[in-house]
Amino acid sequence: MNRRDLLRTAALFPSVIRSRMGAASDRPNILWMLAEDIGPMLGCYGYPLVRTPNLDRLAAQGVRFTRASTTAPVCSSSRSAFNVGLYQIHTGTHHHRSHRKDGYRLPAGARLITDRLREAGYFTANVLEFAPGAAGSGKTDFNFRAPKPFDGTHWNQRKPGQPFYAQVNFREPHKGPAFKEARRQKDLVDPAKVPLPAYYPDHPVVRDEMANFLDAINLLDVKVGLLLEALERDKTLDNTVLFFMGDNGRCLIRGKQWLYTAGVHVPMFLRWPGVTRPGTVSDDLVLSLDMTATTLMAAGIAIPEKFHGQPLTGPKYKPREAIFTARDRCDMTLDRIRSVRNKRYNYIRNFMPERPYTQYNEYIETQYPTLGILKKLDAEGKLNAVQSLFMAPRKPEIEFYDLEKDPHEVNNLARSPGHQKLVAGFGRKLDAWLERMQDQGAVPEKPEAREGDSL
């Protein structure tokens, strides 16, 4: 973050928050705008080809974070964390689509953020339709039992004068019907112009999948614009703290489900009238759980002693030195991977290296055309060394990447003689963190936790 802007914001913060710690009616509304399966592939992040004027304008009205990460690279695990404020590996909610029918409850001290906000007088909503033809998905894919996570489906259902906390879950960047809707837009992204990462072969199917994803992002921006218009129409925009964030990284091969940058790096904005300074850009390492902590702070609720997020602004703000992420079972695909990264390096530990990157996953097999092309070209011996990495029969136990020199994370430095001290240091950091988290991923999953998971 621009340190001067951060300090100015921090100095302003206490007086503003004190003025809102009275009755519930004096507190701001809070809205989470959550986009599924999206990386920072927006105009405001300098990404080419996309047209995202609404999101770009929203980012310019507050703080845009350039190094935001989720705790997991898949939706249910990530959401089970940021809707609570604790890492999913700590609460036992780490396996994707688990505990659907076994009645699993969060451990003592862990609570949904909506329960805390409801007690503080907030009306909580998981917003469905907010404009003709535009609606949130209503997603509540928590890996624990949550009988009544929300009070309603629109902020207008609250009592007069009551502040609201709402989530709008945008499905547009998620593979499925929205990708077909995206194809029906007037101006489509030209596949021939799409920039491909080094690990993708230059093939028409690969380019088409990438272009379709960018079309879906353009469609998302249209829907975000309709939501902002609805807030303005209801005269709630100026008293609403707005967050925009992705629930995990982009839904493309080597993105979603993996702990490379593409799997956990997400866009994040915070627009807080009177608190955040418009046009601020932060390059600090921030976490999805920090959005949760900032929400509690905005609502005048004390941050629980047992909490893994921290407010994104204020006098106690302290930049993170590292970000930790975790991946476990995704649908029928069992794996256990942990990562620690700072601004320069990403250290990944594969606890099950014998399981290849391409072990069977129905979702990826059916929804990712690029995988089929990789398999075909690999069988024909037409992939180069970098493109072949994902097709290896075995994963390395340790992966270590210099993000500054190798942003696509294809040059594994784990065995580089000149990096052994760094690799060992990152390994110790990860060990210490796993011990603090009491990592539940080390405990075999019980069969009943998977029953009814719709794998």
Report pLDDT digits (tens) over 234-287.
Answer: 999 999 999 999 999 999 999 999 999 999 999 999 999 999 999 999 999 999
pLDDT at site 450 = 87
**Taking 70 as the threshold, does the pLDDT of residue 94 lie above it?**
yes
Task: Give the range among 23-27, 161-165, 218-222, 335-339 with minimum mean pLDDT.
Answer: 23-27
For tokens 């999206």, name the residue: 38
- Let me know whether 134 and 221 are in one domain: yes
CA dist., res. 268 & res. 183, Å (int): 26
Q: What is the pLDDT of residue 315?
A: 85
Mean pLDDT taken over the chain: 94
Residues 27 and 125 grouped into a single domain: yes
- Tell whether 396 and 289 lie within a shared domain: no
pLDDT in tens, 283-341: 999 999 999 999 999 999 999 999 999 999 888 899 999 999 999 999 999 999 999 99
Establish if 24 belongs to a structural domain: yes
Q: Is 56 exposed, middle or buried (0-12, 13-18, 19+ CB in 10 A)?
A: middle
Residue 145 pLDDT: 95
Give the residue from 293, 321, 349 where a domain finishes. Answer: 321
Residues forming beta bridges with residue 348, ordered by sequence position: 339, 399
Domain-located, residue 222: yes
| Cβ(387)–Cβ(374) below 8 Å | yes
State percent of the chain over pLDDT 70.
Answer: 93
Mean pLDDT of 153-169: 98
Q: Are 287 and 243 in contact (CB under 8 A)?
A: no
Say which CATH number the domain at 44 has: 3.40.720.10
Residue position matching structure tokens 């609404």? 54
Q: Are residues 16 and 127 in the same domain?
A: yes
Mean pLDDT of 191-211: 98
Residues 42 and 10 in one domain: yes
Give domain status of residue 407, yes or no. yes
Domain count, the chain: 2
* Domain-located, residue 49: yes
Shared domain for 300 and 351, answered yes or no, is: no
* Boundary of a domain, candidates 291, 321, 351: 321
Pick the last residue of a domain from 321, 347, 379: 321
pLDDT beyond 50 at 13: no
Residues 390 and 201: their CA atoms lie apart, in Å, by 12
Query: Is the domain of 308 the same as that of 359?
Result: no
Give me the pLDDT at residue 346, please.
99
Give the pLDDT band (50/70/90) at residue 23: low
User: 337 - beta bridge partners?
Assistant: 327, 350
**pLDDT (tens digit, 9 = 90+) per residue, 347-375?**
999 999 999 999 999 999 999 999 999 99
* 257 and 377 co-located in one domain: no
Is the residue at 359 inside a domain?
Answer: yes
pLDDT of residue 316: 80
Of residues 184, 181, 357, the one with CA closest to residue 255: 357
Chain position carrying tokens 């942003």: 407
Whether residue 278 sits in one domain with residue 352 = no
**Domain check: are 313 and 341 in the same one?**
no
Per-residue CA distances from 439 to 108, 186, 325, 376 (Å): 16, 48, 12, 38
Q: Is the pLDDT confidence value at 429 over 70?
A: yes
Q: Which residue has the tokens 């990403």?
A: 346
331 belongs to a structural domain:
no
Let me know if residue 329 belongs to a domain.
Answer: no
Sequence-distant (6+) residues with CB within 8 A of 17 are: 275, 297, 298, 300, 314
Together in a domain, 25 and 162: yes
Q: How far apart are CA 261 and CA 281, in angstroms?
A: 19
Q: Is residue 454 part of a domain?
A: no
The domain of 284 spans 3-321
Q: Are residues 178 and 252 in the same domain?
A: yes
Each residue of 209-234: b (16+ CB within 10 Å) or e? bbbbbbbbbbbbbbbbbebbebbeee
What percent of the chain has a predicted confidence (pLDDT) above 90?
92
Band the pLDDT of 21: cuts 50, 70, 90: very low
Digit-coded pLDDT (tens) for 58-78: 999 999 999 999 999 999 999
Residue 18's pLDDT band (cuts 50, 70, 90): very low
Confidence of residue 25 (pLDDT cuts 50, 70, 90): low
pLDDT band (50, 70, 90) for residue 15: very low
Task: Name the β-bridge partners of 242.
Answer: 31, 271
pLDDT at residue 419 above 60?
A: yes
Q: pLDDT digits over 388-400, tens only?
A: 999 999 999 999 9
